[in-house]
Amino acid sequence: MALDYFSSPGGYEADFYLPETRQFIQVTQNLNNAPTREREVRALQDAIQVLKPKDALILTDANGKDFQIDGVPVRIQSAVGWMLSS
């Protein structure tokens, strides 16, 4: 499985892109800090506009409330839970 990094024309970065499954993955310690949350979500917004993935995932220290960006589902999941379920 290929694993890529994505840098948008706007200068925002998505940590991982899996072209075979058309999925973006962002990784951050937590999303409780507003500037951190904005940065992670902004990177996904740019990436979604350019590559139109089927979904996105934010791995962090705890599960969170899922949401959508331009109709693309974004799941917030604990990194530990994700690793144990994979």
Q: What is the pTM of this model?
A: 0.91
User: Look-up: residue for tokens 């999303």?
Assistant: 31
Q: Classify 22 as helix, strand or coil.
A: coil
The residue-averaged pLDDT of 16-31 equals 92
What's the first-to-final CA gap in the chain, in angstroms?
A: 14
- Quick: pLDDT tens for 27-84: 999 899 999 999 999 999 999 998 889 999 999 999 999 999 999 999 999 999 999 9
Round to whole Å and give the CA distance between 86 and 69.
24
Tell me what pLDDT residue 10 has: 85
Indicate the domain borders of the chain: 4-85
Tell me what pLDDT residue 2 has: 84
